[in-house]
Structure 1
Amino acid sequence: MSPARSRGQAGAGPVLRRPVAPMLAAPVDEVPEGPDLVHEPKWDGWRAIAFRDADGVYLQSRAGRNLTTYFPDITRAVRAAIAPGAVLDGELIVLQGGRTNFAQLQRRVTAGRDLLRLARECPAHYVLFDLLANPGGQVILNRELSQRRYRLEQLLAGAPAQLTLTPQTADSRQVADWLTHWTVATGIEGVVSKQSTSRYEPGRRGWRKYRTRITTEAIIGGVTGSIRDPDTLLLGRFDRRGTLRYTGRTHPLNPTQRAELAAMLSPVRALPRHGATVHPWPQPLPPSWSGQLDRPEPLPYVQVDPTTVVEIDADVAFEHQRWRHRVRYIRTRPDMSIYDVPLLLGEEEGYFGGLG
């Protein structure tokens, strides 16, 4: 997608025509430092560009899809507070108990007739961080970020709480506080760093994003590929009842990691007399377990004896007792029993309490 522009009404300047590819952020291993850098929280939601047209509001996803019908509460707020012609960029989130809830966001797509009730009970918020066009349609992509931010602040003055300006800072101490406290309290995933003097470049990874990550342990319950040549690991943890629950999947392993793990994995043991095997997870894994929104499919895999503990590196996007993004395998932990791995806690107890 490219930022297509067309002429407005007679005498008007060019206007943005949807779809517009949003400007993106490249991942980094640490928060960057330098002159003219500003930082914003990385919200755990859906990226959305809002077009305030003369006759309503159109919400476009990062991939260019139409999200408008799923967020009547947001389109109503934008239509009431923002003058026609403006184009906004931000993140759609749902808060519960002051913390982002990605699962409630996903429910908007499958709610069907319950959509309006869901919007009333779990209203969405649109956290805004950029302005692509002023009211009236004037395109400001070439303006510096600091200037676009100032205009966005003015535009949101007096807007309802559902339209929120994201915090921004150049203070590294404030960033450290976000990463230390906000990650747990509000569910942000990290920070996005931007040059205050930069223009908005649709489709380009001109920003940088740092995800908060943790190191922890999990139990191998299955693999894709084969036991002798595993491609990815399927991981689990015990709940309080002693059931091994599926919690996520690793990124593909490198050849050294494959060889290391092949020597430690064993097939599921057969029951005495019956010859059948028992494993706590279905085969294949159900599509809903993947946590993916776009065309999820059942995942065939090889069940293994859940006796191997591994150390992993994961981000903080953890919901329904699963890591939503793939985790990174670090090493095996032969020194640990499977009963030394932190237990899965109930949703009400929180994720970080189970990291040990």
Structure 2
Amino acid sequence: MTLPVRPPLEPMLARPAAAIPDGMAYEPKWDGFRCLVFRDNDEVELISRNGKPLTGYFPEMVAAVLANTPPRCVLDGELVVIDGPRLDFVRLTERIHPAASRIDLLSRTWPASFVAWDLLALDDTALLDEPFRHRRGILERSLAHADPPIYLTPLTTDSELARRWFSQFEGAGLDGVIAKPLDGPYLPGQRAMVKVKHKREADVVVAGYRFHKKSTPQRPLLGSLQLGLYDETGLLQFVGVAAAFPEATRAALVDKLAAFALPDGAPHPWSGADVAGRRPGAISRWSAELKAVELLEPRLVCTVGYEHMEGTRFRHTARFLRWRPDREPASCTFEQLEEVVSFDLDGILGRS
């Protein structure tokens, strides 16, 4: 490629904040794969946040870029999969597959879309040093006639509107709000933007744990807590893990959990014949994963922090917050989770 900005290139990153700051430009935070698009006439490369090629996994996106972007450009944005009125991150992760036949099938059954939010180069001109307001203006003109699946992300300078976006857009599967300085340059690898993500709490049952990779028989260390919630039928569903603990805490937690070890031969909701050796809510590999998990009597309850759900599971690793000795495990149900009001993705992307 002869572009003025070429790979490898680290994308500009965002630092977390508790609230939406004033006096900036605001965009929805898309829940997908960060992607840098390099197009030099008929040559297209899709590069992930960590510098790995994505081009081979998304052949339909190569065709879309060729049909809808300037002949020589570098774009920053997000690859997403749209399922009706919302995003589907699980479908997106399924697109990363080693088999060419599977890639071809998924490119037709669950095609990706690209949401652009920055322009880093156009023709022979690098735009990294230009202020964001200038880059955004050129981006809008460059994609003025783009058709789906290439989209331009919405943008506002109204902080009150951004706060409404934060609450409304989650119902379409979005992840929060990004804030950018209007006069800031594009700073590869630096956390020059601000991200505000949804944060919630839930009381969950600790039904098992895994040892840490550094654990030894002489010094056992906790790796992760295996978490569950009871569904409407009374079945304990796996919902995710909590894994970020200081090393000293990891050792103490193994001692604490030992008091709740499952007696030999005792039944457990995730290993009984009623679930055929498959943990409820989990992927089909659970029968093999079960061998690496120390099951516990489901009597411990803790509070965890999470951002949002993907189906019946936490989208990311949950954050352990505190133990809840006052809470009965059976009271830890899905009903406590906040229900996000649905929001049509068409209204965000301007699709007819």
Please report the TM-score for the alignment, with normalisation by the length of structure 1. 0.80
Query: Is 1:129–2:117 an aligned residue pair?
Result: yes
**What CA distance in whole angstroms lies between the structure 1 residues aligned with 2:332 and 2:260?**
21
**What CA distance in whole angstroms lies between the structure 2 residues aligned with 1:53 and 1:140?**
16
Query: Is 1:222–2:208 an aligned residue pair?
Result: yes
Structure with bigger RCO (C-alpha 8 Å, 6+ apart): 2
**What CA distance in whole angstroms lies between the structure 2 residues aligned with 1:299 and 1:30?**
42
Supply the AA of the counterpart residue of 1:150: G
Runs (5+) with no aligned partner, structure 2:
272-276, 284-288, 341-352
Q: What is the aligned partner in structure 2 of residue 188 from structure 1?
A: 174
**What CA distance in whole angstroms lies between the structure 2 residues aligned with 1:223 and 1:51?**
44
Supply the AA of the counterpart residue of 2:260: P
Q: What is the aligned partner in structure 1 of residue 13 from structure 2?
A: 24
Would you say the 8 A contact 1:48–1:90 is kept in 2? Answer: yes
Q: What pairs with 1:316-335 in structure 2 (closer than 5 Å)?
A: 316=308, 318-335=309-326
Query: Is 1:267–2:260 an aligned residue pair?
Result: yes
Q: What pairs with 1:49-64 in structure 2 (closer than 5 Å)?
A: 49-64=36-51
Would you say the 8 A contact 1:47–1:61 is kept in 2? Answer: yes
Indicate the larger mover: 45-54 or 234-243. 234-243
Supply the AA of the counterpart residue of 1:16: V
Supply the AA of the counterpart residue of 1:300: A
Query: Is 1:117–2:94 an aligned residue pair?
Result: no
**What CA distance in whole angstroms lies between the structure 1 residues aligned with 2:296 and 2:154?**
46
Tell me by how many angstroms 1:302 deviates.
2.5
**What CA distance in whole angstroms lies between the structure 2 residues aligned with 1:78 and 1:47?**
16
**What CA distance in whole angstroms lies between the structure 2 residues aligned with 1:276 and 1:298?**
15
Supply the AA of the counterpart residue of 2:224: T
Would you say the 8 A contact 1:93–1:102 is kept in 2? Answer: yes
**What CA distance in whole angstroms lies between the structure 2 residues aligned with 1:289 and 1:63?**
28
Please report the TM-score for the alignment, with normalisation by the length of structure 2. 0.81
1:54–1:124 distance in 2 versus 1, CA, 3 Å: same
RMSD of aligned alpha carbons = 3.2
Structure 1 runs of 4+ with >6 Å offset:
226-229
Q: What is the aligned partner in structure 1 of residue 161 from structure 2?
A: 174
**What CA distance in whole angstroms lies between the structure 2 residues aligned with 1:242 and 1:86?**
55
How many residue pairs were aligned? Answer: 322
1:276–1:118 distance in 2 versus 1, CA, 3 Å: same
Tell me by how many angstroms 1:213 deviates.
1.0
Supply the AA of the counterpart residue of 2:312: Q
**What CA distance in whole angstroms lies between the structure 2 residues aligned with 1:223 and 1:260?**
10
Runs (5+) with no aligned partner, structure 1:
1-5, 9-13, 291-296, 346-350
Tell me by how many angstroms 1:114 deviates.
3.5
Match of 2:298 among 306, 319, 333: 306
Match of 1:78 among 30, 43, 65: 65
Supply the AA of the counterpart residue of 1:327: A
1:25–1:289 distance in 2 versus 1, CA, 3 Å: farther
Would you say the 8 A contact 1:229–1:262 is kept in 2? Answer: no
Deviations 1:150-175 (A, max 9, x none): 00000111101211111112212212
Q: What is the aligned partner in structure 2 of residue 11 from structure 1?
A: none
1:188–1:307 distance in 2 versus 1, CA, 3 Å: same
**What CA distance in whole angstroms lies between the structure 2 residues aligned with 1:298 and 1:45?**
29
Report percent identity of matched pairs: 33
1:56–1:263 distance in 2 versus 1, CA, 3 Å: closer
1:352–1:56 distance in 2 versus 1, CA, 3 Å: farther
**What CA distance in whole angstroms lies between the structure 2 residues aligned with 1:127 and 1:102?**
14
Tell me by how many angstroms 1:56 deviates.
2.6
Match of 1:210 among 167, 172, 196: 196
Tell me by how many angstroms 1:97 deviates.
2.2
1:137–1:301 distance in 2 versus 1, CA, 3 Å: farther
Q: What is the aligned partner in structure 2 of residue 248 from structure 1?
A: 240
Tell me by how many angstroms 1:251 deviates.
3.5
Tell me by how many angstroms 1:264 deviates.
6.9
Supply the AA of the counterpart residue of 1:117: L
Would you say the 8 A contact 2:78–2:116 is kept in 1? Answer: yes
SS of 2:299's equivalent in the other structure is coil
Would you say the 8 A contact 1:73–1:123 is kept in 2? Answer: yes
Deviations 1:270-312 (A, max 9, x none): 3xxxx42433446x999x969xxxxxx9993432211112111
Deviations 1:115-150 (A, max 9, x none): 33322332211111000001x231110000000000
**What CA distance in whole angstroms lies between the structure 2 residues aligned with 1:217 and 1:262?**
22
SS of 1:15's equivalent in the other structure is coil
Would you say the 8 A contact 2:205–2:228 is kept in 1? Answer: yes
Would you say the 8 A contact 1:190–1:210 is kept in 2? Answer: yes
**What CA distance in whole angstroms lies between the structure 2 residues aligned with 1:257 and 1:61?**
33
Q: What is the aligned partner in structure 2 of residue 232 from structure 1?
A: 224
**What CA distance in whole angstroms lies between the structure 2 residues aligned with 1:299 and 1:207?**
43
